Amino acid sequence: MKVYICLILMFLGIAAGFQCTLVPGKLRQLDAGAGQVYGVNDNDDIFRFSVNNWVQVPGKLIHVSVGPAGIWGANRQFNIYKFQNGDWVQVSGLLKQMDAGGNKYLGGVNNDGKVFCLNQDSTTSTGTSLPFVQLDGSLNYYSCGRYGCWGVNSANAIFYRQNVSPTDCKGSTWKQVEGVMVMVEVGIDGSVYGINTIGNIYKREGISSLNPIGTEWSLVDKYGPFKHLSYDEGLLWLINTQGDIFKCKVENSSC
C-alpha cells in the first residue's frame, strides 16, 4: 500500500505538462463534455461531478456519455437511455458504448462490434424510436468531437472516420492511423487522447480543421497504468486500474 501511495504522489507531481489532483471515489468509466462529468462505478451506480464531489444519479448503467448531443447511457442488457427532463428514457436499439461529443450527433458500438450513429436531428428529438445508422466495419470503441470521429478495433488498430457531419453522421470511409491503442477519446474541441496496451497515455499532435488526423502521437504520461480517460475544457480525467480518479489541468491544450 505504501508503494502504491508513493506512485500516486509521483504521478501527481511529475506527469508531464500536468497539474493533477486525486479525486475522491472510485469509478469504472467516466465521460466529460460540455462542462459536465458523469461516471459509473463497478456496481453500475451513476454519478455526476458537482463542486468537487460526486452526486449519485438514480439508475443503473455500465457506460455513460455527456456532450453536445446530451446525456446518454447503456445498461448491462445494452439497452440505450437518454437523460430527458430529469429521467432516463429508454430509446430503441442496443449499444455497449456511446459518445455524445460530436456536434449534437451520437456515435457508438454494440456488443458485436458493429458501429452506429445518430444524426443531429435524431439526438434532439424527444421520441424513443430513433433511426440509428449502421456504419461499415467493426470497432471496440468509438468517439467523436469537433473534427470528426475516431475508433479502435479488437486488434487495437486506430481509425478515423472521414467526412462525418451533424447531418451525415455515417460519413464515408475509414482511414487507418498509425499506432496501437485500446481506446481513443475525442474532446469536444477536437483534442484526441489515447491509452495504449500497457496503460500509457498519448495525445495526438497537430490536429486542426485542415488536418483533422494530426501528425503524430506524443507520450503524455507513463505513471499508469490507466484504463480510462476523458477530456473537456482543459481538463483530462483519468481512471487507473484500481479505479482511482485523477483530474489533470492540461497546459497548452488548444487544438
Is residue 10 scored above 80 in pLDDT?
no
> Residue 220, Cα to own-chain centre: how many angstroms?
17
Percent of the chain with pLDDT over 70: 91
Question: Domain residue spans in the chain?
Answer: 2-250
**Average per-residue pLDDT in the chain?**
92
Between the CA of residue 144 and those of 26, 76, 128, 165, 184, what are the distances in Å? 26, 23, 22, 10, 10
What pLDDT, on the 0 to 100 scale, is given for residue 17?
Answer: 57
Cα gap 55→141, rounded to integer Å: 27
pLDDT digits (tens, 9 = 90+) for 152-210: 999 999 999 999 999 999 999 999 999 999 999 999 999 999 999 999 999 999 999 99
Q: Residue 33 forms beta bridges with which residues?
A: 36
Residue with cell 453522421: 169
Looking at residue 123, the DSSP 8-state letter turns out to be: H
Distance of alpha carbon 243 from alpha carbon 25, whole angstroms: 8
DSSP state of 22: E
Q: Report residue 222's pLDDT band, with 50, 70 and 90 as the boundaries.
A: low
60-105: pLDDT as tens digits: 999 999 999 999 999 999 999 999 999 999 999 999 999 999 999 9
Whether pLDDT at 126 is above 70: yes
Give CA torsion, residues 78, 79, 80, 83, to 10 deg: -120
Q: Classify residue 12 as left (phi > 0), alpha (psi -120 to 50) or beta.
A: alpha
Q: Give this prediction's pTM.
A: 0.92
Residue 136: which pLDDT band, with cuts at 50, 70 and 90?
A: very high
Taking residues 31-48, what's their average pLDDT? 98
CATH class name, domain 2-250? mainly beta
**9 confidence band (pLDDT: 50, 70, 90):** very low
pLDDT for 115 equals 98
Q: Lay out the sheet containing 148-152: strands in order across.
A: 141-145, 148-152, 157-161, 174-180
Grid cell at residue 154: 479488437
Determine phi and psi for 44, rounding to 5 degrees.
Answer: 70, 15
Band the pLDDT of 19: cuts 50, 70, 90: confident
- Alpha carbon distance, N-terminus to C-terminus of the chain: 39
